[in-house]
Amino acid sequence: MSDKVVAELQEPTPAVGDGGPDMIQLLTPEGQRVSHPDYDKYVADLTPEDLRSFYRDLVLIRRLDAEGYALQRQGELGLWPSLLGQEAAQVGSGRALKPHDFVFPTYREHGVGFVRGMDPQSSLQLFRGVSQGGWDPQENNFHLYTIVIGAQALHATGYAMGVRMDGNVGTGDPDRDTAVICYFGDGASSQGDVNEAFVYAASFDAPVVFFCQNNQWAISEPVEKQTRIPLFQRARGFGFPGVRVDGNDILATYAVTQHCLDEARNGNGPLLIEAYTYRMGAHTTADDPTKYRVSAEVEEWKFRDPILRLKTLLAHEGMADETFFANVDEEADRFAAELREGCVTMETMPGATMWDHVYAEDHPVMEAERAAYLAYKASFEEAN
């Protein structure tokens, strides 16, 4: 561990606050570009086309979220966990990944999956109940959604330990060195699984970046009930660095995540990122946030909207015009129509497929369970 890291770990811990002076920001809520000596270099090479593609991703993902919410309310999905307000945290971090990095999501990372090349219908399959996951994790290095709160932190740490044991970290070969990223929320930071993952990751120098989307509410409990210090400072107790980034700032999220992933690939992991953001909607469609938070808080966070601030930058700097924005909106309309059509017409996957991706290779226990299921199902057909 470097002297700089040791010095950071020994600094006094600040109190919980509204972002605070330690929060990394490159784009203000007003859409004004600001500089940061440590992170400017990670966005210096971004072209206007890159920024326009960022904006397109944000808009399409928000439309995916809105369509998922509407489909659930209309009885087409059993449940939908919204990411409204967290688009920049997901797009920025997702775009910082390399293809051979591996992602361990919660059940809310629809945006990360999208930028990783996932078919958006995959998550709809899961929440429609027609599949047990809907995708092969190896296809886009994107693990299945994890419903058990915090469990994916252990999975990610174990995978990262394997990466180190395979010698795929710190070699200096960019096509070989691999990082793992694990997403979880502020509520999950209180789970034993997450804290145990921190212990193992630190003990084995696992090349994993823990990405906490602090959306201020663990279902119905505010973040103040989870911690007395900023969440990113919790990493200090486990012996690795943490950083807080403005989670509604796509440039800062992209830069900070890229930096942390580079550190992990170079053998300097683990690291913790706290993306300071806000859950604009309900925890899931089974939740009613009006019962535990005031509307004034939601209204305040509307002024920090991640899409609006990037749109303001693009327009002010002459990198996009009204035609571009209109075209993106039209694409979003077509995207939503395709999502809806695909959802209402999708067929239920055969139940036996739930054993397909449990292990990388054939496994006798899985095959026995599959055979028992098929025999059980066949018994009903015989009875008829």
The CA-to-CA distance between both ends of the chain, in Å, stands at 68
101, 123, 99: which is closest to 111 by C-alpha? 123
Q: Residue 239 to residues 154, 182, 203, 204, 263: CA-CA distances in angstroms?
A: 17, 18, 9, 12, 15
297-336 burial by CB neighbour count: b if 16+ within 10 A, else e? ebeebeebbbbbbbbbbbeeeebbeeebbeebeeebeebb
> Which one of the listed residues 33, 73, 292, 376 is annotated catalytic?
292
Asked if 48 and 319 count as a contact pair (C-beta separation under 8 A), the reply is yes
Would you mind telling me the total number of residues written for the chain in this entry?
384
Residue given tokens 């993902």 in the structure block: 61
Using a 10 angstrom Cβ sphere, with 0-12 exposed, 13-18 middle and 19 or more buried, the burial of residue 262 is middle
Which member of 155, 164, 234, 279 is catalytic?
279
Token duo for residue 10: 């020994």
Question: Can you tell me the distance from the alpha carbon of 37 to that of 212, in angstroms, rounded to the nearest whole number?
Answer: 24
279 flagged as catalytic: yes
CA 339 to CA 33: how far, in whole Å? 34
Name the nearest CA neighbour of 96 among 116, 82, 71, 120. Answer: 116
Active site residue 110: no
Catalytic: which of 95, 116, 143, 283? 283
What residues are annotated to the active site?
279, 283, 292
